[in-house]
């Protein structure tokens, strides 16, 4: 039983850099909800790559298991070096940041689409794709017929949530824009956004004045 516990701890220690990288990437990118098995597989793959890079750079392994025999008893201990573990954590953080940058900017997706290998985006949804590629001035149409324009500042990670925050916002009336007195408006999921139109508007223009909205 003691040996089993030690092996479990050793495996956990080995996987920790992968869990660190996966967790940081989750904070920096938009990802769909994954199962626990998906998370373990992802952390394992991260750990493999992290240790591969570490071993290639240092020609060593940061964690070693020492087996000492006292009579009929095997005593297992972990030998670690704080400096080497810090380097391992640094590689994990750097890898997560790089992976997040590549995913958020769809760099590999663009490459594979250009090579006609794939038509898929590396982002998780069309909602995320559109708001990453466009933004600035938008006109939001609500299910009840109302319309509002503003400067896109924040948006939810998932289309199912559908939250959008607009700065310098104004309601669209028949012959005028009714400016909102304040920093902006948060359209929650209950607002029932039916469409988002991306407009031409320059920051040098007067805030709240959008072209092509009023007839």
Please state the rounded mean pLDDT for residues 187-192: 88
Q: List Cα–Cα distances, 88 to 25, 43, 164, 171, 200, in angstroms.
A: 16, 14, 39, 53, 47
User: pLDDT digits over 150-164, tens only?
Assistant: 999 988 888 788 899
Instruction: Concatenate the DSSP letters of all residues of 104-173 into one string.
Output: HTTHHHHHHHHTTS----SSS-HHHHHHHH--SEEEEEETTS-EEEEEEEEE-SSTTT--EEEEEEEEE-
**Is residue 2's pLDDT more than 50?**
no
Could you give the CA distance from residue 83 to residue 78 in angstroms, rounded to a whole number?
A: 15
- Model confidence pLDDT, tens digit, residues 63-99: 666 666 666 666 666 666 677 778 888 999 999 999 9
Per-residue pLDDT of 16-40, as tens digits, reads 888 899 889 888 887 777 778 888 8
Report the predicted TM-score, pTM, of the whole model to 2 decimal places: 0.67
Q: What is the pLDDT of residue 200?
A: 78
**Ordered structural domains, the chain, with CATH:** 2-111 (no CATH), 126-198 (2.30.30.100)
């Amino acid at each position: 039983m003691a040996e089993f516990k030690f092996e479990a701890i050793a495996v956990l220690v080995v996987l920790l850099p992968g869990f660190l990288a996966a967790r940081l990437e989750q904070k920096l990118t938009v990802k769909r909800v994954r199962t626990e098995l998906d998370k373990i597989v992802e952390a394992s793959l991260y750990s493999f790559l992290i240790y591969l890079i570490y071993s290639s750079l240092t020609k060593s392994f940061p964690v070693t298991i020492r087996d000492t025999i006292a009579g009929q008893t095997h005593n297992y201990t972990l030998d670690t070096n704080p400096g080497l573990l810090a380097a391992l954590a640094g590689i994990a953080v750097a890898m997560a940041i790089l992976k997040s940058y590549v995913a958020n900017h769809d760099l590999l997706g663009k490459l594979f689409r250009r090579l006609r290998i794939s038509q898929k985006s590396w982002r998780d949804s069309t909602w995320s794709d559109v708001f990453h590629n466009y933004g600035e001035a938008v006109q939001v149409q609500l299910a009840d017929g109302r319309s509002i324009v503003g400067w896109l500042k924040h948006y939810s990670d998932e289309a199912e949530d559908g939250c959008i925050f607009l700065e310098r916002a104004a309601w669209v009336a028949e012959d005028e824009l009714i400016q909102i007195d304040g920093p902006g408006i948060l359209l929650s999921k209950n607002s029932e956004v039916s469409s988002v139109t991306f407009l031409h508007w320059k920051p040098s223009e007067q805030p709240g004045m959008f072209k092509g909205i009023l007839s």
